[in-house]
Amino acid sequence: MRVVFAGTPGFSVPCLQALIDTDGIEVVGVVSQPDRKSGRGMKLTPSAVKQAAIDAGIDLITPEKLRDNEEALAWLKRKQCDVLVVVAFGMILPKAWLDAPAIAPVNVHASLLPRWRGAAPIERSLLAGDAETGVCIMQMEEGLDTGGIYACKILPITSVTTGSELWFTLSPMGAELLVETLPKIAAGLQPEPQPEEGITYAKKITNEERIIEWSKPAAEIDRLVRCFSPRPGVRTLVSGKWLKLIAGQVMTDSHHISTGQIVAISEGLDIACGDGSIYRVTELQPEGKKVMAAADFLRGAQLQAGDALP
């Protein structure tokens, strides 16, 4: 089976590597997004998938766009692939690309479709308080994650699951399911249409969403912290400086004061939240400093019960 792979971030690499390591599958080409500036020095850096393709010696292209790009389409057609596998590529594929593979264009999507179609399914499932998520192998079509489903695998979400744990679990899970499913697709497996009920959309995460609103219930704030811990993190202002929250817990006791006020300073930083709930910050990162226990931070911070956070 000849495969062209399209992907960009580190999440995609286990799928690419699984294809490379599987007998009977030949990865004949890789498509990834162009180098982007990153890091403190804002240097041009190749995507994780591009680097993996270079390391494996696989022919690679990194087009700025696919639509109306005849050169990139000609490259794809020369590959004469049986399957086009797409994993977190980050670009919309034109119909000409979807029509190019002899068997099917296949996507590895990190949710249980039709729930959380779109850009940020991992984050949205955790922020929404879903009890489970998973990965789906789907047939691609022109709609946004609307294609039929070949196979799915479920992963529970617990009260302590973090976004990074979901990321690093779903990625290899998707890779395993992909190499299990591709031979079945080649043998004639047909995708099942997605249900019409239960459709939700996972819009991109904005920077504003990662600034804590203490008027929200503590359970919701806890999911927010877990979703983005340790990077990129969620923030709140303390004494005019940003404080990144790394870990915490919802407390069983309640309050009757304004949200955002410090309830107590003991084993952590207890803050009044919406619905009378309390969130205890146990690990944090002050602006320009390393991650530390909240108790260590509080020993040097001029904070006391009754102080208000914005």
Residues 234 and 94 in one domain: no
The range of the structural domain enclosing residue 283 comes to: 207-300
Domain tally, the chain: 2
Angle between helices 163-186 and 13-21 (to 10 degrees): 40
- Structural domain includes residue 307: no
By the 8 A CB rule, do 283 and 247 touch? Answer: yes
**What local confidence, expressed as pLDDT, does residue 40 receive?**
73
Domain stop point among 166, 182, 202: 202
- Structural domain includes residue 118: yes
- Structural domain includes residue 308: no
- What is the per-residue DSSP string for 58-108? --EE--S--TT-HHHHHHHHHH--SEEEEES--SPPPHHHHT-SSSEEEEE
**What local confidence, expressed as pLDDT, does residue 110 receive?**
98
Domain of residue 116, CATH code: 3.40.50.170
pLDDT per residue, tens digit, the chain (310 aa), is 999 999 999 999 999 999 999 999 999 999 999 999 887 778 899 999 999 999 999 999 999 999 999 999 999 999 999 999 999 999 999 999 999 999 999 999 999 999 999 999 999 999 999 999 999 999 999 999 999 999 999 999 999 999 999 999 999 999 999 999 999 999 999 999 999 999 999 999 999 999 999 999 999 999 999 999 988 999 999 988 999 999 999 999 899 999 999 999 988 999 999 999 999 999 999 988 999 999 999 988 889 999 998 7
Domain stop point among 180, 202, 224: 202
- Partners of residue 43 on adjacent β-strands: 38
**What local confidence, expressed as pLDDT, does residue 267 receive?**
84
Residues 259 and 169 in one domain: no
**What local confidence, expressed as pLDDT, does residue 201 receive?**
97
Residues 62 and 140 in one domain: yes
What lies within 8 Å, CB to CB, of 129 at 6+ separation is: 219, 220, 223
Residues 129 and 62 in one domain: yes
Residues 189 and 261 in one domain: no
Residues 212 and 174 in one domain: no
Of 106, 112, 116, the closest CA to residue 86 belongs to: 106
**What local confidence, expressed as pLDDT, does residue 152 receive?**
98
By the 8 A CB rule, do 198 and 270 touch? Answer: no
Domain stop point among 202, 220, 242: 202
Domain of residue 267, CATH code: 3.10.25.10
The pair of three-digit structure tokens given for residue 257, joined into one six-digit string: 């004061």
Residues 77 and 198 in one domain: yes
Residues 192 and 211 in one domain: no
Residues 256 and 191 in one domain: no
**What local confidence, expressed as pLDDT, does residue 279 receive?**
98
Residues 224 and 179 in one domain: no
**What local confidence, expressed as pLDDT, does residue 310 receive?**
76
